[in-house]
Structure 1
Amino acid sequence: MARRTLRSGAAAAGLAVALMTGTAGCTFPDVTMSPGLAQEQDVAEDTAEPAGATEVAATAATEPERPAGDLDTGSLTHTIAAGDQTVVVDYWTEQDAKTWTTSAPKTLQLAAHVEGARSDVQILVTRFVATADDGRQRTVAAEDRGEFALMPPFTYATALTLPDVSPTATAVTLYVQFDLLVETMPDSGRYYRQTVLDQLELPLIQEESP
């Protein structure tokens, strides 16, 4: 009876050792998070935009870059063929044209003279007109009628302020026109008409709505 008890105890002890050995050789997986979910979270963290990046990008997309304007450097000279002579028009402004907005006053000056004409032939300016076009309306900015000598060494000069433009305007095109009378022969008293056209592109900065 005692021998059977010893065998039963030995068998039980052997089974316990086997179970402990098997358990020690096994590794249980980490079930705190699925591997796929962990990888997705890492990718999302790597690709997430910094705080405020989306807002900055949206602001940049809604504010188009202002193009260069003809008076950004402060002055400009145009040379225009007019029959046998050339009309040279100098434009300038004492303001910073790069900061012009739709509501701010915009003032510029111009001076025109003739090159290549005979000194003994009369050239007269009978009409000068400057028209501002903001894409929605055209407004006469300046007009001058008369008979003003333009042959060398005389110059036609004037100053003008651009009229109010639409609050949504992005630029103003200034159209300039000179109507000339050119003498056909010295002291002939007979003239032919010559029209000279020119234009300036003046971009505007958009103002924020109140």
Structure 2
Amino acid sequence: MVIATSLLLLSLTACGTPPWEKAGAGGTPKPSPSGTITMIKNDLASGSTRRLLEAGTIGVTVDYWSDLAMKSWTAGANKPLSFSLTGALTPDDGQQVYLSKVSAVVAVMAGSKALPSPATLSDQASISPGYLIKSPYSYSQTFVLPALDPKATSVTLDLTYELLLQTTPTSVQYAKQTATDTLTIAIAR
């Protein structure tokens, strides 16, 4: 009789709702809306990135990086963005490729809200027709983003590369091409 009672008691305790599934039980807490984590895109999360751009028959390879660690890209810091670009032609009939101007329009965001942004950053070539960028030659520059609104969570840079393609290998006439790129960089807290 003791064995039968023990088996009956054991089978009854093994059935039923476990305590963590009962209403009001101290089981797994449900996430609260205020604890939601929003991921911010960061094209420089690994420290650098490479982009391949096209402008007509010109292919442009651009490498972006920062000498300032991403954890130090805070709203109050001056934030250096360095880049280097090289051009190539397909087909290559011997013409040269020049960069006449590069500009970056900066948009500062706090989540989905736009904040005041710094002036456009740019470099206009100081020589005519521009800076030679056809491989093996390249162009390198560093734009420094100034201090931003303390609420900033990211910056987006719309970069425009104005290129001049020599019409023939001996010509002093050029065709203008434009390559564009967009970088989004998270602002560290």
Query: TM over 0.5: same fold?
Result: yes
Q: Are 2:40 and 1:67 aligned?
A: yes
Q: Are 2:105 and 1:131 aligned?
A: yes
Distance 1:172 1:99 in 2: 14
- Which secondary structure state, in structure 2, belongs to the residue aligned with residue 140 of structure 1? coil
Q: Are 2:81 and 1:108 aligned?
A: yes
Q: Are 2:20 and 1:47 aligned?
A: no
**Corresponding position of 1:162:** 145
Instruction: Label 1:63 to 1:166 Cα distance change in 2 as closer, same or farther (>3 A).
Output: farther
Q: Are 2:171 and 1:188 aligned?
A: yes
The offset of 1:185, in angstroms, is 1.2
| Unpaired segments ≥5 residues, structure 1 | 1-42
Higher strand proportion? 2
- Which secondary structure state, in structure 2, belongs to the residue aligned with residue 61 of structure 1? helix
The offset of 1:159, in angstroms, is 0.9
Distance 1:62 1:204 in 2: 19
One-letter amino acid of the counterpart of residue 25, structure 2? T
The offset of 1:98, in angstroms, is 4.5
The 8 Å contact of residues 66 and 205 in structure 1, kept in 2 or not, is answered as no
One-letter amino acid of the counterpart of residue 81, structure 1? E
The 8 Å contact of residues 69 and 98 in structure 1, kept in 2 or not, is answered as no
Instruction: Label 1:104 to 1:64 Cα distance change in 2 as closer, same or farther (>3 A).
Output: farther
Distance 1:110 1:98 in 2: 19
The count of corresponding residues between Structure 1 and Structure 2 is 158
Distance 2:160 2:43 in 1: 17
Counterpart pick for 1:122 among 73, 90, 96: 96
User: Quick one: higher RCO (CA 8 Å, sep 6+), 1 or 2?
Assistant: 2
- Which secondary structure state, in structure 2, belongs to the residue aligned with residue 121 of structure 1? coil
The 8 Å contact of residues 88 and 113 in structure 1, kept in 2 or not, is answered as yes
- Which secondary structure state, in structure 2, belongs to the residue aligned with residue 102 of structure 1? coil
Over aligned residue pairs, what C-alpha RMSD do you find?
A: 2.7
The offset of 1:93, in angstroms, is 1.5
| 94-103 or 142-151, which deviates more | 94-103
- Which secondary structure state, in structure 2, belongs to the residue aligned with residue 172 of structure 1? strand
Instruction: Label 1:133 to 1:68 Cα distance change in 2 as closer, same or farther (>3 A).
Output: closer
Write out the 4+ residue segments of structure 1 that deviate beyond 6 Å after TM superposition: none
The offset of 1:194, in angstroms, is 0.6
Distance 2:148 2:170 in 1: 46
The 8 Å contact of residues 123 and 150 in structure 1, kept in 2 or not, is answered as yes
**Corresponding position of 1:78:** 51
The offset of 1:129, in angstroms, is 1.2
The 8 Å contact of residues 40 and 154 in structure 2, kept in 1 or not, is answered as no
TM-score of the aligned structures, taking structure 1 as reference length:
0.65
Residues 177-204 of structure 1 show CA distances to partners (whole Å, capped at 9, x for unaligned) of 1111111111121111111111101112
TM-score of the aligned structures, taking structure 2 as reference length:
0.72
Distance 1:95 1:64 in 2: 25
Distance 2:54 2:121 in 1: 23
Higher helix proportion? 1
